């Protein structure tokens, strides 16, 4: 065969098809990355199915991740979006979860990557604005160590979906009770949002909410103002009177930067450690990092969700960024 001096290069994609979202694994199979053709990206650790990065088309990071976060599976990740299940905090007076560690085991278990799906069902008619990619992860008792199983001996199945669109990120958790007896649980999407200056931030959408103030003895309070500002350690569990579809907004310097809409999650935790607490957290870095983060955490954590055998519970959040 005669060689040709100018051979055609391999095609990057099938002719006639719009560019597709790309999904790849790290060399050690510890994390999954998804990138839209327009540049937006997410990165998810299989450890905890923890979203550790969410960037817009310009490469600007939208989540806060501690510089001292452990990403090797030795400790729950400080930052990103850890998953809290089946207990929020600790519950020494709750028989089913009293022996479990802080925030349960979902955030410290290795999840299985189940696959991806995209919005590209009809490529010829789709536009860049329609693009999205969904990553699915699964967790069952088979992934738990014997110690955890002994402390929470229920048969369950969890599916966690992370969907990246051009201007939003949706995270959805479905819990199935596959046991022959009921169990009670709590769940929370422990989202660390990145902000430029916490002193210029207002949180709106909680004006009609009651809340538990965990900094002040877990006292029950009623929101008095239309916007919440952060000027010290804040750890509050809000239960808005408005529907979950009504957004909670993060406004910085007068501009809305994030809106958070919940699905079937009645509570919203607002957390910032401030100076003293940040200094006391070994994996929180830099220590001044509290100025650049704000946790807005949709969940079901006031009381318990009871799942009878065969029942399922689903909760989700959609975070939209304003450009």
pLDDT, one tens digit per residue, over 226-267 is 899 999 999 999 999 899 999 999 999 999 999 999 999 999
pLDDT level of residue 119 (50, 70, 90 thresholds): confident
Q: Which of 13-22, 160-169, 295-304 has the lowest mean pLDDT?
A: 13-22
pLDDT, one tens digit per residue, over 128-139 is 667 899 999 999
According to the CATH classification, is domain 22-321 in 2.70.98.10?
yes
Whether pLDDT at 98 is above 60: yes
3-state secondary structure of 27: coil
Distance CA 231, CA 294 (A): 12
Q: Which residues are annotated as a binding site?
A: 78, 102, 107
CB 163 within 8 A of CB 134: yes
Domain boundaries, the chain: 22-321
3-state secondary structure of 214: coil
288: annotated active-site residue: no
pLDDT level of residue 15 (50, 70, 90 thresholds): low
297: annotated active-site residue: yes
How confident is the model at residue 121, as a pLDDT?
44
pLDDT, one tens digit per residue, over 27-54 is 999 999 999 999 999 999 999 999 999 9
How confident is the model at residue 128, as a pLDDT?
61
Residue from 193, 203, 294, 296 nearest 251 by CA: 203
Among 40, 43, 120, 297, the one annotated catalytic: 297
CB 111 within 8 A of CB 48: yes
Composition of the chain by helix, strand, coil, percent to 5? 10, 45, 45
pLDDT level of residue 124 (50, 70, 90 thresholds): very low
Among 40, 43, 120, 190, the one annotated catalytic: 190
CA angle 204, 274, 241 (to 5 degrees): 25
Q: Which residues are annotated as a binding site for substrate?
A: 78, 102, 107
pTM tops 0.85, yes or no: yes
How confident is the model at residue 9, as a pLDDT?
40
């Amino acid at each position: 065969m005669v060689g040709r001096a100018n051979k055609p290069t391999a095609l990057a994609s099938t002719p006639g098809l719009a560019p597709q979202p790309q999904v790849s694994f790290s060399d050690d199979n510890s994390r999954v990355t998804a990138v839209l053709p327009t540049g937006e990206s997410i990165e998810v650790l299989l450890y905890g199915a923890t979203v550790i990065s969410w960037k817009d088309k310009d490469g600007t990071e939208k989540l806060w991740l501690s510089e001292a976060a452990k990403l090797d599976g030795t400790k729950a990740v400080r930052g990103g979006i850890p998953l809290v299940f089946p207990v929020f905090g600790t519950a020494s007076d709750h028989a089913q979860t009293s022996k479990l560690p802080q925030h349960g085991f979902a955030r410290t278990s290795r999840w299985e990557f189940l696959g991806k799906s995209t919005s590209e069902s009809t490529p010829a008619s789709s536009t860049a604005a329609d693009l999205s990619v969904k990553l699915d992860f699964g967790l069952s008792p088979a992934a738990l160590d014997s110690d955890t199983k002994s402390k929470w001996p229920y048969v369950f199945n969890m599916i966690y979906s992370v969907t990246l669109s051009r201007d939003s990120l949706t995270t959805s958790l479905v819990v199935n009770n596959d046991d022959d007896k009921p169990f009670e649980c709590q769940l929370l999407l422990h989202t660390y949002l990145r902000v430029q200056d916490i002193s210029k931030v207002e949180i709106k959408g909680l004006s009609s909410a009651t809340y538990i103030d965990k900094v002040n003895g877990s006292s029950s309070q009623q929101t008095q103002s239309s916007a919440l500002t952060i000027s010290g350690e804040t750890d509050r569990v809000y239960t808005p009177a408005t529907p979950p579809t009504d957004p909670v907004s993060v406004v910085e310097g007068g501009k809305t930067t994030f809106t958070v809409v919940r699905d079937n999650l009645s509570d919203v935790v607002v957390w910032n450690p401030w100076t003293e607490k940040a200094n006391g957290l070994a994996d929180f870095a830099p220590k001044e990092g509290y100025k650049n983060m704000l946790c807005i955490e949709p969940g079901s954590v006031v009381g318990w969700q009871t799942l009878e055998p065969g029942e399922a519970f689903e909760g989700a959040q959609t975070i939209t960024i304003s450009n």
